[in-house]
Amino acid sequence: METKANISPLAKEAPPRKVVLEITDLKKSFGNNNVLNGFNLKLYEGENLVIMGKSGSGKTVMIKCLVGLMQPDSGSIKVMGKDISTLNRADMDELRTEIGFLFQGSALYDSMTVRENLEFPLRRHEHKFGNISDPTPLVIEALESVGLVNAIDLMPSELSGGMQRRVALARTLILKPKIILYDEPTSGLDPITAKEIIELMRRVQQQYHTSSLIITHDVDCARVVSERMILLVDNINYAEGTFEQLKASKDEKIKAFFK
Ligand SMILES: Nc1ncnc2c1ncn2[C@@H]1O[C@H](COP(=O)(O)OP(=O)(O)OP(=O)(O)O)[C@@H](O)[C@H]1O
């Protein structure tokens, strides 16, 4: 991947891993606002890749293009080798079950218990999972991975903000996604709860062997979870490397991310 500030010679050597997500030369403008001006990324199997960019640098637009909520002007997005622009609605729905999301606003259904919140996606994707007569073992397994089995019969209103986010992660994990997209997973949480979520993201990757794309402003989150980072500056991939490589940079634009 070409980046303006070539931090790491290593970053150019692709690890010998399968690419699960590939975005090539993605462009998206709104009028004169060239939000994405040739964005590229490769996410490898089992990898945690962090993307950092200033507010307004197009991270959410990129995610919307990725999940089919927005059409890019040009460029290609391949998920598990499939170009999403060639997929019909049914195939896109199918592919979406391979991608889990944990967004800031990934709210739980208030009128449902934790158990019902987790059963919901299983029922929605019955065509993939078959008719599960007793979803309880799957619900428990997912809640165990986020340490919240005891909350199974509680209502979302009875949970703290951090617990709600963990349940939202469990609801994603129950579909056994191959890729998880995290959009600001720690925002709005106090530092201790944010740390718990960060640890959990690491554990989830080890347990489920997911590949994760993590958009964050949180330097602690990036330090703990990232194997590789991409920094967006001026609407392009500006730099790529490990946390340590980027943090050691003397480039003022890169240093600004770590202040
Ligand atoms: N539907 C839209 N119509 C017009 N402009 C849009 C639209 N969606 C996004 N934009 C513009 O695209 C730019 C990038 O927005 P985006 O939400 O992707 O930023 P971001 O990097 O996710 O920022 P933040 O870190 O604050 O969430 C902004 O200038 C925004 O105003």
Domain assignment present for 47:
yes
Give me ligand 1 centre to Cα 115, in Å.
Answer: 35
In the three-class reduction of DSSP (H, G, I as helix; E, B as strand; rest coil), residue 49 is classed as strand
Does the beta carbon of 59 sit less than 6 angstroms from any atom of ligand 1? yes
The residue segments making up the domain with residue 48 are 1-94+225-259
User: Would you give per-residue pLDDT tens digits along the chain (259 residues)?
Assistant: 445 555 554 555 555 689 999 999 999 999 999 999 999 999 999 999 999 988 888 888 998 898 888 999 999 999 999 998 888 888 887 888 889 888 776 679 999 999 999 999 888 877 777 677 888 999 999 999 999 999 999 999 999 888 999 999 999 999 889 999 999 898 888 888 889 889 989 888 888 889 999 999 899 999 999 999 999 988 788 899 999 999 999 999 999 998 8
The verdict on residue 144 lying in a domain is: no
171 lies in some domain: no
61 CB under 6 A from ligand 1?
yes
Supply the CATH number for residue 82's domain.
Answer: 3.40.50.300
Domain membership of residue 165 (yes or no) is no
**52, part of any domain:** yes
60 in ligand 1 pocket by Cβ < 6 Å? yes
Q: Which atom of ligand 1 is nearest to the CA of 28?
A: 12
Domain count for the chain, please give it: 1
Ligand 1 atom, smallest distance to 62 CA: 18
> Measured in angstroms, how far is the CA atom of residue 234 from the centroid of ligand 1?
13
136-145 and 191-208 helices, crossing angle to 10°: 120
Please state the ipTM of this predicted complex: 0.96
